[in-house]
Chain A
Amino acid sequence: MYRWFHQLGSPPYFYRLARRLEPRLAIAALLLIAWGVYGGLVKAPPDYQQGEAFRIIYVHVPSAWLSLFVYTAMAVAGAVALVWRMKLAEVFVTAAAPLGAAFTFLALVTGSIWGKPMWGTWWVWDARLTSELILLFLYLGVIALNAAIEDRRSAARACALLALVGVINVPIVHYSVEWWNTLHQGPTITRFDRPAMAPEMLWPLLWCALGFNFLFFWLQLPRMRYELLQREARSRWVARELGSE
């Protein structure tokens, strides 16, 4: 186990492993998403309250789930990077931030497309939408910090620290926004959460969520490879790797 961990930490080993894993992850992600979307768009019956509009759930909920998952993963990797100075963990943080921002953006856009027929406006200051928006800004902060610092190594470490600070903040922000929302929001019917879903509606959602997860890891690998190549451009394994392709 320890040996495996140690091997994984070495960039050349990881680079080759990632190249082998990528196609498999891609196929798994595409199949799962295709199956989930088919189940959600075709097989699932329309919702008795929201009609066909509930089908947005199959892209909205996985994106929202991934937006939180990616941030948490970034913070965990950030902690590893700061404590053990592991190169791959540093690379993970900076590579994941744009992907996380993309998922957050999607959650916001699909949420607002859903809100239009349900609430009659594109945007309501709903607790969940608002904290998702703050989360987007947290991601943008990490991206901007990464872009501003020239040295790749210290940029990654700074981003790792910022992600850690942010992850402590996320639940506080969520709680405070919820408190604020109950004070100010009138009788908004949050139709997003309902007690139970029919299984033929729920299963496609789980497939889509899993597929999005695979999609994230699939895309994360080439992004990490990019960062590794950029950082270690002068080392011998890069030359070997580029020559062998």
Chain B
Amino acid sequence: MGGYAAYVWSSYGVSAGVLGLCVATTYIRLAWLKRQLRRRETELDDPK
């Protein structure tokens, strides 16, 4: 890649990082919300 390899790799790396972060946060948030909703539901079902 000549003298430009570092630039090329870093731009691909940044892109992969940011997009990967988008994927991860999207699914983690969703799973978290589902867990919360489920927990709330079971609490409603059998109040101690």
CB within 8 Å of A: which residues of B? 1-5, 7-8, 10-12, 14-15, 18-19, 21-23, 26-27, 29-30, 33-34, 37-38, 40-41
* A113 near B34: Cβ-Cβ < 8 Å: no
Number of interchain pairs (Cβ within 8 Å):
80
Closest to B34 in A: A242
* B18 near A222: Cβ-Cβ < 8 Å: no
Contacting residues of chain A (119-141) with chain B, CB-CB under 8 angstroms: none
Q: Nearest Cβ in chain A — how far from B23, in angstroms?
A: 6
Q: Please classify the interface of chain A as helix (H, G, I), strand (E, B), loop, or mixed, using the class held by over half of its residues.
A: helix
Q: Nearest Cβ in chain A — how far from B5, in angstroms?
A: 7
Q: Please classify the interface of chain B as helix (H, G, I), strand (E, B), loop, or mixed, using the class held by over half of its residues.
A: helix
- Cα distance A59–B7 when bound, in Å? 12
* B37 near A110: Cβ-Cβ < 8 Å: no
Q: How many A residues touch the partner, as a band? A: 35 or more
**Contact among A59, A105, A229 with B34 in the assembled complex (CB-CB below 8 Å):** A229
What are 25 sample pairs from A and B whose C-beta atoms fall under 8 A apart? A41-B8, A41-B12, A46-B2, A51-B4, A53-B4, A56-B11, A59-B12, A59-B15, A102-B21, A102-B22, A106-B19, A109-B11, A109-B14, A110-B11, A110-B14, A110-B15, A113-B10, A219-B22, A225-B30, A226-B26, A226-B30, A226-B33, A233-B40, A238-B37, A245-B34
